[in-house]
Chain A
Amino acid sequence: MTAEPTKAHVKPTKYVIVFVVLAVVTGIEFLIGSIIGQPENAGIHTLGVAALIILSLIKAALVMMFFMHLKYDSKYYSLMLLFPIFMAALLAVIVIIAANYNPIA
């Protein structure tokens, strides 16, 4: 026997609320991207990039926690994901540092 799929812990309305939040955040991201894309806003480019990264991570977390049910499922699923997420973040940091110190020509 194996465990049956999880029963619905989230009412459908909560999924819709999460979706609305995702849609709104996407709109905000689009606005930020439009603003920092203007040459006259070069001064706030770094801040805009940081905001975009944070907002994207929030969206990804919302999808994983609610739509993929990680918030309500066994913690073993989340634990198992930690390693590849850590490796992915590590790769991103290393690549960015390496590209800045030794640009690939």
Chain B
Amino acid sequence: MSEVASTHEHVAAETGSMQGVDNRKFGVWLFIASEVMFFMALIGMFLAYRGLPGWADFHHLLDVPLTAINTFILLTSSLFVVLAVNAAQQDNRRGLSLWLLLTAVFGAVFVGIQAFEYGKLFSEGASLSADVFGSVFFTTTGFHGLHVIIGILWCLAALLRATRGGFSGGRYMAVELFGLYWHFVDVVWIILFMLIYLI
């Protein structure tokens, strides 16, 4: 499978391939599908254990306003990603680099705020092994945070390639694929924020 430098959109030409489907993009969507199952397992765990004795003890320690701001930060980073893809489509290298940099920065801010909240909870005695809530909360949000960190590293790799002109001439599929992953991480947080912090 070779990357063709072309600014013209055309359907897949491989024998037996689905009309309009890019194998690389389909592969990432398959990966996202598997991640849906992974996070649903964690969310299922949350739904199963929620409300058990000791559950509410630490819930009141969650900083909902701060996390709402954090949710806004992650949503904003998603906007930056689509603007980055748009810049890549326009062959705007500076714009692409700027939006990718902002995405990484906002992602890092999100992780930083999460780490700050973790510190507050640890100081109050919450932990993975403290009780049911701690086990479920830190596992679920921890895995999400790990996905964000991986996304930041991916973003920085894309940024490096962008600054070297690696996405010029219509070859920006890698940016779009990163975008799919980042948006998925955002969607997971949309669900987690609602389930864990608001309900």
Contacts and interface: CB of A to CB of B under 8 A. Distances in A.
Interface of A: 1-8, 10, 12, 15-16, 19, 22-23, 26-27, 29-30, 32-34, 36, 49, 52-53, 55-56, 59-60, 63-64, 66-69, 73-74, 76-77, 80-81, 83-85, 87-88, 91-92, 95-96, 98-99, 103-105
Interface string B99-128: 000000000000000000000000000000
Contacts of B52: 103-105
Given A67-B183, A74-B21, A76-B26, A29 B198 contact: yes
A1 B180 contact: no
A2 B9 contact: no
Q: Main SS of chain B's interface residues?
A: helix
Contacts of B75: 19, 22-23, 26
B48 A33 contact: no
A59 B190 contact: yes
A90 B144 CA distance: 22
Contacts, number: 173
B: interface residue count bin:
35 or more
B176 interface: yes
Contacts of A85: 36
Contacts of B197: 33
Given A2-B24, A3-B11, A5-B173, A77 B29 contact: yes
Given A26-B72, A32-B198, A84-B33, 18 more contacts: A2-B4, A2-B13, A6-B176, A15-B83, A19-B76, A52-B194, A55-B194, A56-B190, A56-B191, A56-B193, A67-B179, A76-B20, A77-B21, A84-B36, A95-B47, A103-B52, A104-B49, A104-B52
Contacts of B47: 92, 95-96, 99
Nearest to B186: A63
A70 B47 CA distance: 29
Nearest to B132: A104
B54 to A, nearest CB: 12
A53 B83 CA distance: 28
A85 to B, nearest CB: 7
A67 B71 contact: no
A92 B43 CA distance: 8
Interface string B1-38: 11110111111111000111111111001101110110
A15 B86 contact: yes
A61 to B, nearest CB: 9
Contacts of A7: 9, 89
Contacts of B12: 1-3
